[in-house]
Amino acid sequence: MSTIKNKLRRLLIDKGLVITMGDRPEVLHHHSVGIEGDKIVFIKPSSEVNSEGWDEVYDARDMAVMPGFINCHTHAAMSLMRGFADDKPLKEWLEDYIWPSEAAFMNRENVALGTRLALLEMISAGTVMFADMYFFEDEVAKACHEAGMRVLLGEGLLDFKTPHFQRPEDGIAFTLDLASEYAHDPLVKVAFAPHAAYTVSPTLLKKIAELSGQHNLPVHIHLAETRQEVEDCYRAFGSHPVDHLFNVGLLNHRLITAHMVHVPAEYHARLREAGVRIAHNPSANLKLASGFAPVHEYLQEKIILGLGTDGPASNNNLALPIEWRHSSLITKMLTGQPETINAFDALYMATTGGAKVLGVDHITGSLQPGKAADIILIPLNKPHLLPVYNIYATLAYSMHPTDVDTVIINGKTVMRHRRILTLDTEKIITQVKKVEEKIAHYFHLNNRRNGKK
């Protein structure tokens, strides 16, 4: 036993400003976080901690030490389509641009590459876990293992053929295989990911609801994103998308709904009672002019709520600080109440709230002894962050995503002094430029190299 214990890396994060998050505000000045292997073993005043005898000590003086961010909804590999088709309505964007380019380019190799590009971006902005919905999700699992990133992944299921599967039944079988393969994995978790109620038939949704119950797997779906979707749902099924999901047996505590922009107040109590979780994607909703989710009402109703970026082709960022800024500022403006989505609420959605949405709050989302060491360090001695009167306000309203200096996930340092240690950044960038060239050529885009001519 002792041999195994001796092998665990012992890391001390010393003399930091520790923001534990969790359900109540707690700021601990001049505290140290002890890590053994993948776990936090203590959080104590630095005066009580001996900094000798550790494998490594990170000096966190003048730094915020907090839980890493959780992105509750994205399509990571779509980073390869960032900036490829912008300023268009959702339907046109999907049907005329995204789906054709996916059919032409999003093969296994490019999903592996695009996911790695997204991982570089996410880690560099302090993200320690994300929920992914895309294709070739076995590649996403491999990429996350390589990067040391947590993920809740789900193979995108649609009624029609995807880049990975001819038939949705094959995607369902594949999801179940992935779930059993990663059942005991420390980083990778698996969900069913039916794309939306307008792309997946009620029969298939019912089947997914049944299997989700049998195997206790979450279901991650886009819901009530646009007004058009709601109107189409009434036309096709005579009900609002929330009622539609109830009718097919999906409205329960395993459900993770992305967007929830157009959900009238009479549904809110029902969502809370059912234990439905919401991934709020303010930037993507703004960019596609879909509307703005009633997040203040969701929070008042105590619905489980986290933040997502949505895919990098519809945002076009994967940085949570940008999401909470949009969420907080626009909700204040819409409600006329500046106290709404306050600085703590904003950070809560990106940490503990997100962990609850993805069903991992017993593992991550706050700093507590016994929880996984998913920790980020943010140096505070910067012109745009000083002075620090209220650390929640500093982080929520002044922080830039690139202020994150160090990222530790499951006890492993994946970024130190802004250098990503687990992925080959240069190699990924070189490969991405090659794919960019091909996509630009195929769609006759005036990309940067064409632009130079």
Side chain identity at residue 335, one-letter code: T
- In angstroms, what is the minimal distance from the CB of 67 to Zn ion? 24
- In angstroms, what is the minimal distance from the CB of 333 to Zn ion? 24
- In angstroms, what is the minimal distance from the CB of 133 to Zn ion? 6
Among 310, 323, 345, 374, binds Zn ion (CB under 5 A): 310
3-state secondary structure of 64: strand
Question: Are 373 and 411 in contact, with CB atoms under 8 Å apart?
Answer: yes
Looking up tokens 């091909």 gives: 438
Question: Are 314 and 76 in contact, with CB atoms under 8 Å apart?
Answer: no
- C-beta closer to Zn ion: residue 38 or 310: 310
Contact segment (CB under 5 A) with Zn ion among 18-26, 308-316, 357-365, 369-377 equals: 308-316
- Using CB under 5 A as the binding rule, whether residue 323 contacts Zn ion is answered as no
**Distance, CA of 379 to chain centre:** 23
- C-beta closer to Zn ion: residue 15 or 326: 326
Classify residue 213 by burial, with Cβ atoms within 10 Å: 0-12, 13-18, 19+.
middle
Contact segment (CB under 5 A) with Zn ion among 200-208, 302-310, 330-338, 359-367 equals: 302-310
- In angstroms, what is the minimal distance from the CB of 372 to Zn ion? 26
Contacts with Zn ion by CB under 5 A: the residue count is 1
The binding track of 1-30 with respect to Zn ion, each residue x by CB under 5 A or -, is ------------------------------
- C-beta closer to Zn ion: residue 225 or 403: 225
- Using CB under 5 A as the binding rule, whether residue 38 contacts Zn ion is answered as no
- In angstroms, what is the minimal distance from the CB of 281 to Zn ion? 7
195: alpha, beta or left, given left = phi > 0 and alpha = psi -120 to 50?
alpha
- In angstroms, what is the minimal distance from the CB of 259 to Zn ion? 8
Contact segment (CB under 5 A) with Zn ion among 24-32, 121-129, 232-240, 304-312 equals: 304-312
The binding track of 259-298 with respect to Zn ion, each residue x by CB under 5 A or -, is ----------------------------------------
Buried-state track 255-288, b at ≥16 Cβ within 10 A, e below 16: bbbbbbbbbeeebbeebeebebbbbbbbbbbebb
Classify residue 206 by burial, with Cβ atoms within 10 Å: 0-12, 13-18, 19+.
middle
Buried-state track 133-166, b at ≥16 Cβ within 10 A, e below 16: bbbbbbbbbebbbebbbbbbbbbbbbeeebbbbe
Dist. CA 193–CA 221, nearest whole Å? 6
- In angstroms, what is the minimal distance from the CB of 260 to Zn ion? 12
Which residues are near Zn ion by CB under 5 A?
310
